[in-house]
Amino acid sequence: MTFEIRACRAGDGARLAAVAQATFLETYSGIVDGGDILAHNQRIHAAKAYENLLVQEDVALFLAVVDPGDAPVGYAMLSPPDLPVEIGDGDIELKRIYALHRFHGAGVGPALMSAAREAARERGGKRLLLGAYGENHRAIAFYRRNGFVQVGTRRFQVGANVYDDVVLALAL
């Protein structure tokens, strides 16, 4: 299936919310409590939350879409870093990068990563940072194949539970 990566535009909040909620559910079902997933999605991955992000100049959002109808199958988000590591000038966080499971292996992840790296460089980025669930071995392997190295750890709370994440970095 052919896909396209495009920068998000006003009105993409519903597309972003749909793919964000679906990928969060796919990724963390069986790991994170189901009620916590639903509450997290309603709070963090609501269409209105994404519409608010779309107007922030220091945030960049990208969608992977397929036809017909510009259907969202993945997304990535860049933002100022909010991670428990030493932050330097030119650091940008790859806050989110996800693709629907059925599109894993189809090139969506590498294409989103490429778009994120290019956008970070265009913004003057010198280093790309991200946090990943420490037991998400597939994602961490993907990041390592893309040149990321571990620079720290963090605790990430979803609902009442706290999870151990790794913090990874890539020199741009």
What are 127-136's pLDDT values in tens digits?
A: 999 999 999 9
pLDDT score recorded for residue 81:
98
Query: What is the secondary structure of 124-159 as a DSSP string?
Result: T-SEEEEEEETT-HHHHHHHHHTT-EEEEEEEEEET
Encoded tokens for 17:
């919310």
pLDDT at 172 over 80: yes
Q: Say yes or no to pLDDT of 10 above 90.
A: yes
What architecture (CATH level 2) is domain 4-171? 3-Layer(aba) Sandwich (3.40)
148: Cβ–Cβ under 8 A, 6 or more apart, which residues? 128, 130, 168, 169, 170
For the cut 90, the answer to whether the pLDDT of residue 85 exceeds it is yes
The amino acid at residue 89 is: D
pLDDT band at 103 (very low <50, low <70, confident <90, very high): very high
Write down the domain spans for the chain: 4-171
What does the alpha-carbon distance between residue 53 and residue 69 come to, in Å, rounded to a whole number?
A: 23
The model's pLDDT over 116-150, given as tens digits with 9 standing for 90+, comes to 999 999 999 999 999 999 999 999 999 999 999 99
Confidence of residue 1 (pLDDT cuts 50, 70, 90): confident
What digits encode the pLDDT tens for the residues 41-52?
999 999 999 999
Token pair recorded at residue 109? 């992840």
Please give the pLDDT value at position 7.
Answer: 98
Q: What percent of the chain has pLDDT over 70?
A: 100
Mean pLDDT across the chain: 96
Q: What is the model's pTM?
A: 0.95
Confidence band of 111 (pLDDT split at 50, 70, 90): very high
What proportion of the chain, given as a percentage, has pLDDT over 90? 96
Q: What is the pLDDT of residue 159?
A: 86
